[in-house]
Amino acid sequence: MNLSALEKARLEKAREYLRLFLMDTEELNRLLRRKEIDDRRLDLAIQLTISDWNSTTPLIGPVSLGNFPSLYLLIHGAAVQCLKMAGLYQSRNELTYSSGGSSFIRANKTAYYQSWCQNFSTDYETKKLNMKIQQNVEAGYGAGFHSEYFLIGYDW
């Protein structure tokens, strides 16, 4: 990835905010005692969120990390991607073992990840679509016609 200085700074900030939002730190992951999602996967989640924005209709022009229109949508979209990745990992590594009347289940958190993913996806998709429709309407009417989304800005 060839990023500008602004995009590099935003990527670092997005990683930091995403990790805070997901509460994915060594001290908070008491069972793992490490971060669950490494920086490469956070970067992938952020890039997938940008790609999702750019490929969702209405197609109102591509954005990048440097001009993504909403920090909220970027973090929520990337959180959805992280939950998908972690949920796939949990599903792939689930193991149920029984012996001598005792049973053990390893990595049985798939349903939890699916539930959180669905919750965030619904909110993210609704807000993303509303923002894209409004930006499309604003572009159609030309300069001077703005919604409340115009006031949000991109100040992170």
φ, ψ dihedrals at 68, nearest 5° = -60, 135
Q: How many domains does the structure of the chain reveal? A: 1
Could you tell me the residue range of the domain that residue 118 belongs to? 5-151
The angle formed by the CA atoms of residues 121, 96 and 88, to the nearest 5 degrees, is 25
> What is the mean pLDDT of the segment spanning 107-118?
84
Whether pLDDT at 73 is above 80: yes
Mean pLDDT confidence for 46-64: 95
Rounded distance between C-alpha atoms, residue 37 and residue 24, angstroms: 7
Q: Is residue 156 part of a domain?
A: no
Average pLDDT score over residue span 97-122: 82
- Looking at the DSSP bridge assignments, the partners of residue 98 are 103
For position 29, what pLDDT does the model report? 66
- Tell me what pLDDT residue 152 has: 59
Looking at the domain assignment, is residue 41 inside a domain?
A: yes
Phi, psi of 155 (to 5 degrees): -110, 25
Mean pLDDT of all residues in 102-119: 82
Average pLDDT over residues 41-51: 97
The reported pTM is: 0.79
The structure tokens listed for 84 are: 């998908």
